[in-house]
Structure 1
Amino acid sequence: MKDKIVDLVSRNIRLLKNFSYLSVIQLINILIPLIIYPYLIKVLGEDTYGNVIYAQTIIGYIVIIINFGFNITATKEVSVNRDNAENLSEIISAVYAIKSFLTLLSFGILLIYMSLSFEGSQNQLLLLFTFSLCLNELLFPVWYFQGIEEMKFITIITLVGRIIFFVAIFLFVKEKSHYLRIPLINGFCALVTALISLYIIFVKNGLTLILPKFSRVFKFFKDAIPIFVSEFSVKTYLGTNKLILGQLSGMRYVAYYDLAEKIITAIKVPIKIAGQVILPKISLDKDINFIHKFFKYSFFFNVTSMLLVLFFGKYFILFLGGEGMLPSLDVLKILALTIPIVAMSSIFGLQLLIPIGYINYFSKSVILSAILYIILVFGLYIFNEINLMSLSFVNVLVELFGCLILYFGCRKYRLI
């Protein structure tokens, strides 16, 4: 038994290292916002904090546009060409060219939206400042470091940025009128981490930016479209709930939903980490048996996590937001049902269908899920039943629907 364990560890040492690094990253990204959450709620209040989250939700759609699916497609390309510096330089150059164009296009769309918006100038200014979050998506090449499986760089860079953010929030956000400083702090941290990562790529690793061939750029753009469509569709049924609540119920309800979502996101961290770690491995060796073994452990872990939230969710709410945020509890219990569902969807889609080559099927499944979301929300609107609870149930139903489609796809292509 001991020899088997040693052999298993030795054969997957890189996976274990990357899992450790990504665990640190996700803990940093989840814990720091949760730690400062009680402080921001106390200083800003539910309504103002809801405005900040509302702006971040809108910019979240732009982040998806700028990312354009490269977190998967570019990671795969870098993984395959990791030992060829010339190809890596061309890949990086092509991806940055596309991202730069999409950033300018998105900023133009945002300016048009703000000019047509009937909201107050302060809310428009908040939205403009929050756009600075896009600097991280434009410049920080997570896809490169994932592709070469050097997660330690992402870990160090992320740690630096989050520490700066943590300290700056307590130093510069001390009253409700300081809410505009939050996106500016985020933007500054994004710029710092981006500059560090660019130094590593172009100075330490010796890669260069070149003028990529149009055919190469077009190919990258075309290959990423299915992933972009799927990720934008996912954003539709995961992020739109807060926009709807902000428009129809008030920013206080955005804060309620956001707290429950933050807790569930923290619980789902292992799912995300595992997917990021094993994607390069599966892209290279197409080891389906490895995924089958992984599925068993993943399902058990995530069912246990769901039960933990169902039984102890109240204490999570009280610890983070106090009694004033208890309306989040029912939302939290409903969204907890998505934990094992999302885990299975991740395996069926991101670890089986995409690496094996069935990207189009994956994209179609997500688009269908987004269409179902729109239909359900429209039905709730017609019958005047839009509220925290109903939108939370819609989220669960859509996630379950998407998971089933992915499952049948894996059966269709004999992957399970």
Structure 2
Amino acid sequence: MVSDQVTSAVETEQETAKTLSRATLKRFAINVVSLFSVNVANMLLPLLTVPYVVRIIGPERLGLLNFSQAYVAYFTLLINYGFEMSAVRTIAANRTDKALVNRTFSEVIAGKTLLWILSTLVFAGITWFTPDFRSHIVLHTCTYITCIGVVLFPIWIYQAMEDLGRVAMFNLGVKILFTLSVFLLIRQPDDYIYQNLSISVAQVVVSVVALYVALRRFDLTFTWPSIAQLITRFREDSTLFFSSVMITLYAGSTVFLLGLLGNAYDVGIFSAGSRLEGIARSFVSLGLNQAFFPIVASAFGSGREDGLRVVRTTFFPLVAFMTVVSLVLWVIAPVFITLFYGDKFHDAILVLRIVSLLPILIGVSNLLGLHTMLNLRMDKAFFRITAIGSVVGLALNSLLIQKMGFIGAAYAWVAAEAYIALSMYVYLRSKGVQVVQLAYMREAISFSKNRLAILFKQR
């Protein structure tokens, strides 16, 4: 009996090793580093200007900058629709099918273009006819320019092809130049709009360069799709779109709701407190997940058990890493806030310590939802869970922001994420899918040691 268990464990590890081969892990490591550099360019580089900028513009204008970004994020959401996740899932499992890759590429670019036109009309109408928005129309327009980059930036094609190194270098180089331009442009409080303008222009430049390289590198051909093809694409990706809407309603709307129910100071303090957590989470949630998703999708393409084996083996190392990240955020909160933002932002320390729980919660929900439920084609269940979670998040935000301000917003966000992670776990178990199994802990430790040894072994 013991011999059979040992043999089964060895066979399981061998199967996992086949799925996560040395070449796959090396490619994964390169893509993680590449995606991390993209996120560093997008989030950390602007942060480097914070000690200089916030001392000139103050908490209120910082709040306006972040409120504008939260406002434009809704249009970014509409433009992305659900195309990118669906496209990665399709292309990652069919990379050798040239016709399918080109058709998917064309449908995504065309769909984003049409949604950008719609978004621009809606943005212009809301911004002009709403007095509060019109009073900051220049700021919002500067921020909205980034939506052009959202249409053109083909990070999803690089992601599906597991080839993110080149676009990361372009992104990093251009963002460095435009971030440094902030020091030249912001000289007095009213210059604060240049912060968002520089980020937007950088995004557009990077997107154009990345699209050009993708067309050449992957030999892509764009053909405007037929109406029938576009309708099919919109219909197939609608569930992922509405799931993204639900996620944004409870996670991305916090700053927006603070601006509506609170004041600019609340927005500034919350934004300062959640910024470092956002950077840490971007490495794990965006970096690791985006690089890992094509690997998991490919494994699920080989078979249900192959995909689940990869997810189960990954769970415990991921949770352990996330726990370390959260602990570090909690410990360094006072030092980080004081160093980067100054004494005026002392209230942001508590915000950072509350949201330091998010890397663990979001990491688990991403593994259960994005990697497991979506690859098992449980799209509707994923939508239902995120929809209910968004209602919970919005209700908590509306209640707690009015009573506790930015502190209430932080508690509401953590509570909503905890609800979603728990709901996904319960749903998967109800369907006989047990991602969290203690039996896999020993295998995960053994496998991780072996794979790391192989990955860094000298030739």
Shift of 1:265: 1.1
Moved more, 166-175 or 201-210: 201-210
Query: For 1:78, which of 91, 97, 100 is the aligned residue?
Result: 91
Contact 1:69–1:225, Cα closer than 8 Å, also in 2: yes
Equivalent runs, 1:31-50 vs 2, <5 Å: 31-50=44-63
Deviations along 1:90-132, one digit per CA (max 9) or x if unpaired, are 2111111111111111111111112221227551221122110
Contact 1:132–1:186, Cα closer than 8 Å, also in 2: no
1:163 matched to 2:183? The reply is no
Q: Which residue of 1 aligns with 2:411?
A: 393
Q: Compared with structure 1, are the counterparts of its residues 122 and 168 closer, same or farther at alpha carbon in structure 2 (3 Å cutoff)?
A: farther
**Aligned partner of residue 119 in structure 1, secondary structure:** helix
**Aligned partner of residue 403 in structure 2, secondary structure:** coil
C-alpha separation between the residues in 2 aligned to 1:276 and 1:343? 12
Q: Which residue of 1 aligns with 2:455?
A: none
Query: For 1:244, which of 241, 257, 272 is the aligned residue?
Result: 257
Deviations along 1:130-154, one digit per CA (max 9) or x if unpaired, are 1101112111111111111111122
Query: For 1:273, which of 265, 287, 303 is the aligned residue?
Result: 287
Q: Which residue of 1 aligns with 2:187?
A: 174
Q: Which residue of 1 aligns with 2:425?
A: 407
Contact 2:318–2:363, Cα closer than 8 Å, also in 1: yes
Contact 1:133–1:190, Cα closer than 8 Å, also in 2: yes
Moved more, 233-242 or 174-183: 174-183
Q: Compared with structure 1, are the counterparts of its residues 204 and 304 closer, same or farther at alpha carbon in structure 2 (3 Å cutoff)?
A: closer
Instruction: Structure 1: state its 5+ residue gaps.
Output: none
Q: Which residue of 2 aligns with 1:360?
A: 380
Contact 2:179–2:198, Cα closer than 8 Å, also in 1: no
Equivalent runs, 1:274-313 vs 2, <5 Å: 274-286=288-300, 287-313=307-333
Contact 1:245–1:254, Cα closer than 8 Å, also in 2: yes
Q: Compared with structure 1, are the counterparts of its residues 11 and 155 closer, same or farther at alpha carbon in structure 2 (3 Å cutoff)?
A: closer
Query: For 2:222, which of 209, 218, 239 is the aligned residue?
Result: 209
Deviations along 1:315-351, one digit per CA (max 9) or x if unpaired, are 1111111111111011111111222111110110011
| Count of residues in correspondence between the two structures | 412
Moved more, 371-380 or 153-162: 371-380
Instruction: Compute the RMSD of aligned alpha carbons.
Output: 2.2
C-alpha separation between the residues in 2 aligned to 1:29 and 1:378? 30
Q: Compared with structure 1, are the counterparts of its residues 26 and 378 closer, same or farther at alpha carbon in structure 2 (3 Å cutoff)?
A: closer
**Aligned partner of residue 131 in structure 2, secondary structure:** coil
C-alpha separation between the residues in 1 aligned to 2:79 and 2:317? 34
Residue identity (%):
20
TM-score normalised per structure 1: 0.93
Query: For 1:148, which of 157, 161, 172 is the aligned residue?
Result: 161
What one-letter code is carried by the residue in structure 1 that aligns with 2:340?
A: L
For the pair shown, the structure with the greater C-alpha radius of gyration is 2
**Aligned partner of residue 206 in structure 1, secondary structure:** coil
Question: Structure 1 residue runs of 4+, over 3 Å off?
Answer: 4-11, 377-381
C-alpha separation between the residues in 2 aligned to 1:5 and 1:233? 36
Instruction: Structure 2: state its 5+ residue gaps.
Output: 1-15, 301-306, 435-459
Shift of 1:56: 0.7
**Aligned partner of residue 219 in structure 1, secondary structure:** helix
Equivalent runs, 1:254-269 vs 2, <5 Å: 254-268=267-281, 269=283
Shift of 1:377: 3.3
Contact 2:393–2:416, Cα closer than 8 Å, also in 1: yes
Q: Compared with structure 1, are the counterparts of its residues 107 and 302 closer, same or farther at alpha carbon in structure 2 (3 Å cutoff)?
A: same
**Aligned partner of residue 355 in structure 1, secondary structure:** coil
Moved more, 331-340 or 207-216: 207-216
What one-letter code is carried by the residue in structure 1 that aligns with 2:69?
A: Q
Shift of 1:28: 2.9
What one-letter code is carried by the residue in structure 2 that aligns with 1:402?
A: I
TM-score normalised per structure 2: 0.85
